[in-house]
Chain A
Amino acid sequence: MSKTRFFDEMNGYGDEPRALYAKVAEWLARTPPDILATRRAQAELMFRRVGITFAVYGGNDDTERLIPFDIIPRIVGHREWSKLEDGLIQRVTALNMFLSDIYGAREILKAGILPPDIIYKNPYFRPEMSGRRVPHDVWVHIAGIDLVRTGEGEFFVLEDNARTPSGVSYMLENREVMMRLMPDLFSSYRIAPVDNYADALLAALRSVTPASARGEPTVALLTPGQYNSAYYEHSFLADRLGIELVEGNDLFVKDEIVYMKTTEGPKRVDVLYRRVDDEWLDPLAFRPDSALGVPGLMNAYQAGNITITNAVGTGVSDDKAIYSYMPEIVRFYTGKEAKLSNVQTWRCREPDAYKYVREHLDELVVKEVNGSGGYGMLVGPHASRADIDEFAKKLDYDPANYIAQPTLALSTCPAFIDDAVVPRHVDLRPFILTGSEGSRVVPGGLTRVAMREGSLVVNSSQGGGTKDTWVIEDTNLVAKNLEGKSLETKGA
């Protein structure tokens, strides 16, 4: 166990709860562990019943696993939140401008801000998109930006997710469960609601309908199918949005228009919210072996007859090598300093940085530039000598494929593990929606928890759990009371 003193979401650096957490602390003090255990069991039952499961690759015994849910909420104060909100919107605005530029005039390369090969050699750069514009210049309609906190008011961006970020169903379902399990604690705070997320998402999707569409836009969600790890989320979102959940086989392209096969014959699709990665979207344009995609989809897209969200080619912006340039990117496009800080990052492509990283492997977190889900990374302080030596070989073979960051003193939040309340490290993924009217952030997000003591890896694929995230409203809105008459009863 590390000796570092971590900032705790509930207790700060001291042993007294922060004002924000006073009621939670009080609730924890008066609730015996067996009641907490019962609540946790009830929550698990609720998740099982709705079938909110997550398939973990590589575990073949139990393909439908629940992500562990922790019943102690994570709370963000109003002032903290509004600063984050500004920073997130600024960052997403810059990401969209960056993508328009990279697939357009490439001013940022001309200005020498980025080395060109970081774009052109990037596996997520799509030459097919060069010279293309997308409706309202929105590329990243749904972004998930991972934040970590290291102290009072100190948040850092850990990672941008601009392809097909997932996790929002947990934000919504966690809230549902918390409201049902602990209504008293819940109502003792003024918590900003998250359930308008679906409406906001649908509005954003409809706002980017292609110009050639006629009448009411038809939006559909493209899923790889029920064996995909995030299938639950796909069906959940399609349901909340009231749109069709389609698989590749449900769609076909004729004369550069995309149709879905319905009981009333073919029906045109105008906006496709895809949860399928670029390379699987169209076997004629990308991987020819893809059975998940739709032949001809890219033709229809390039002809401007369908909007794909997020746009094809956004992966070039959320890559970890690009990440290290985000402060420059934000400055270049918005003319202002980034409101949200990056974590200090060494790009191993640069000889000095590589040398430093090589000498400090036992202190750093080293990640693959294009990796995700916590796979293929080295957490120096927690790795054995053998692990480090093994990793060093990979690093030496292709330094440009790696970046390194200091091990952050990630904040902890109380969690109920086994039968005790103990601190566990957390991060936060808020979701930012962008349509023709600009960007907005739903007040909340997905708080991920490293369930093992001392662990800093919060990814669900690595056994991380989740918590409900409460953003506290500042205004004293008083709900108007119902003025209805009492209910009638028989014989009264």
Chain B
Amino acid sequence: MLARTAENLFWLARYVERADFTARIIDVTSRLAALPQSYRGAGGEWESALAAVGALNAFNASFSEATESNVVHFLAFDETNPSSIHNCLEQARTNARTIRTALTAEMWQAINSGWLELKSFEERRRTGEYSGIESILPFLEFVKSVSLDFDGAAYRTMLRNDAYWFNRVGLYVERADNTARLMDVKYNVLLPKSEAVGGSLDYFQWTSILRAVSAQTAYHWVYRESVKPWLIADLLILRKEMPRSLIYCYDNLARFLDHLGKAYGMQATSQRHTRMVLRRLENASMEEIFQEGLHEFVTRFIDDNNRLGGIIAEQYLLV
């Protein structure tokens, strides 16, 4: 496959996944921010949303105050924010257009219709037909539906060859990064000691994390007990059955990179690095992770995951 095609497939999947994650973050943050002050703790919900999607510095460069409308605009529509939903969908569509031939008709239609719908949402916002937080909810639903459509189209229609594997690798690198960031922003409420301190205040924080990864029901299926912060961390890091957990992402990365290695007749740095990270997750327990420090663990993971992105580019994309 053309190296440029592989690169576009990889980034296309990342941009769609990122748009989805950003939509989820806006969604849960707006719920948290709507709670009465007494449940909200120290506030700063919108700042932590910005931190979770890695946009805090960029935001502070253009805005003086993290109000709801500023942050929502910045994360969803701002063209100066490279990771805004607008830019993610725009980039995804540009990437898709360059490699139309590597996509199935269904994938292209999902991304192209998504982009057209985005334009129409933005047009309605400009004309004032849509404004305020109520109007953002249908928009977020729409963004999630784009990623469902696109991902479903990829899963159901792509040949299982290198094109599919690069798409999946992009998806899981991005998702692992997103889940890790979400935990890093909220790590303080996930520590075991916080249960005693917290009470109902933290309960909303915990459930909002679960909500962000669509795992409220999943949590109960897995643990069959009330929401405990360390179990949320366990679910998001070590549970292989949880499709957004770090270990699930790496299990898949190892699998898809192995497919690539076998098809191309060569296992190299990216395969070794992935197996190293996967082994560390498989051998870890929550006790050890809390001992090391959740924040330290997650930070190291984010660095390792970024390194994997770089290694994949070197090995396959920059011929």
Contacts and interface: CB of A to CB of B under 8 A. Distances in A.
B166 to A, nearest CB: 8
B101 A239 contact: yes
Interface stretch (A7-15, A46-54, A96-104, A290-298): A46-54
B210 to A, nearest CB: 36
B108 A244 contact: no
Contacts, number: 65
Nearest to A232: B100
A239 B100 contact: yes
Interface stretch (A177-185, A262-270, A420-428, A462-470): A262-270
Given A226-B97, A245-B100, A50 B2 contact: no
B162 A263 contact: yes
Contacts of A260: 2
A249 B3 CA distance: 11
A312 B112 CA distance: 36
A235 interface: yes
Contact of B316 (A50, A231, A247, A263): A263
A108 to B, nearest CB: 41
B97 A250 contact: no
B4 A235 contact: no
Contacts of A245: 99-101
A247 B4 contact: yes
Given A48-B116, A51-B112, A249-B4, A264 B98 contact: no
Contacts of B188: none
B319 A265 contact: yes
Interface residues of B, number: 25
Interface in B249-279: 260, 264
Interface string B87-117: 0000000100111110001001100110010
A81 interface: no
Contacts of B116: 48-49
Given A244-B2, A262-B2, A49 B100 contact: no
B317 interface: yes
A238 interface: yes
Interface in B177-227: none
A263 B100 contact: no
Given A48-B116, A49-B113, A50-B108, A261 B3 contact: yes
Contact of A262 (B1, B94, B113): B1
Contact of A226 (B3, B98, B108): B98
Given A226-B97, A244-B101, A245-B100, A263 B108 contact: no
A236 interface: yes
B238 interface: no
Contacts of B1: 244, 262-264
B55 interface: no
B233 interface: no
Nearest to A220: B2
Interface string A185-204: 00000000000000000000
A239 B113 CA distance: 19
A145 interface: no
Nearest to A260: B2
Contacts of B101: 235, 238-239, 243-245
Nearest to B319: A261
A235 B105 CA distance: 12
A420 to B, nearest CB: 29
A246 interface: yes
B264 A236 contact: no
Contacts of B94: 226
A246 B2 contact: yes
Contacts of B105: 50
B162 A51 contact: no
Interface in A42-81: 48-51
B4 A261 contact: yes
A250 B5 CA distance: 10
B117 to A, nearest CB: 11
Interface in A265-279: 265-266
B167 to A, nearest CB: 13
A199 B116 CA distance: 32
A235 B99 CA distance: 8
Interface in B69-97: 94, 97
A263 B3 contact: yes
Contacts of A236: 100
A308 B162 CA distance: 28
Contact of B4 (A51, A239, A250): A250
A245 B109 CA distance: 19
A49 B5 CA distance: 22
A171 to B, nearest CB: 18
A351 B101 CA distance: 52
A263 B264 contact: yes
A239 B163 CA distance: 14
Interface of A: 48-51, 225-226, 231-232, 235-236, 238-239, 243-247, 249-250, 260-266
8 contacts: A50-B112, A226-B97, A239-B100, A244-B1, A249-B4, A250-B3, A250-B4, A263-B317
Q: List 5 A-B pairs, minimum CB-CB distance, nearest first.
A: A235-B100, A261-B319, A238-B101, A239-B101, A263-B316
Given A238-B100, A247-B4, 19 more contacts: A49-B109, A50-B105, A50-B109, A50-B112, A51-B97, A235-B101, A239-B101, A244-B1, A244-B2, A244-B5, A245-B100, A249-B4, A250-B3, A262-B1, A262-B319, A263-B1, A263-B260, A263-B264, A264-B1
